Amino acid sequence: PVLTRDVLELGPEGLGILGALVSVGAGLVITYLATRREMARRGLVYIAGLAALGASIIGLGVSVSVAAAAAVLLAIGGLTVLADIMMQALMQASVPNELRGRAMGGWVFAIGLGPVGQLQMGALAMAFGVGSALVFNGAALIVLALAVGLLVPRVRRL
């Protein structure tokens, strides 16, 4: 909402349209993935998707036009869904059946920590501005993707 109001100078209607674009991007990726029987190199797709999501978040942070923000939000919706679906697929493919419940419990716990990230994002936005906060978090996601790609070779092979 702050980006929409302060940077793009849009009202509630603009916020609604931009938010809907996230859902459209997610729907497009879900539709595409639903038509695929099998996906090779899921681990690399996951890592590349995380890095692309980070780059898209950076793109949102530096967006100054409505068109650019709209395009980036479409990508963010799709890439967020891609990362989530790939994470679930990788978890199910790599965790033994008897430990799958524990692994899913860990994932649910991590998702439950989302408000901590929102507090961090809010603190960065207050201190440095919303654009800088988005750039920082996007860069952190790229670093995470690179770290997983380099330090966890098993993920690359899945």
Predicted confidence (pLDDT) at residue 91 exceeds the cutoff of 80: yes
97: buried, middle or exposed (CB in 10 Å: 19+, 13-18, 0-12)?
exposed
Nearest of 55, 72, 28 to residue 135 by alpha carbon: 55
Nearest of 108, 84, 103, 79 to residue 92 by alpha carbon: 103
Predicted confidence (pLDDT) at residue 66 exceeds the cutoff of 90: yes
- Residues 5-23 pLDDT 10s: 888 999 999 999 999 999 9
At 41 the pLDDT is 85
Quote the tokens at residue 69: 């923000």
At 37 the pLDDT is 76
The whole-angstrom separation of Cα 89 and Cα 93 is: 6
Return the number of other C-beta atoms located less than 10 Å from residue 56's C-beta. Answer: 24
Phi-psi region of 10 (alpha: psi -120 to 50; beta: other; left: phi over 0): beta
Predicted confidence (pLDDT) at residue 3 exceeds the cutoff of 80: yes
3-state helix, strand, coil in the chain (%, to 5): 85, 0, 15
Taking the model in full, what pTM does it have? 0.89
The whole-angstrom separation of Cα 88 and Cα 45 is: 13
Point out the least confidently predicted range of 2-6, 116-120, 134-138.
Answer: 2-6
- Residues 38-62 pLDDT 10s: 777 889 999 999 999 999 999 999 9
Residue type, 16: G
At 39 the pLDDT is 75
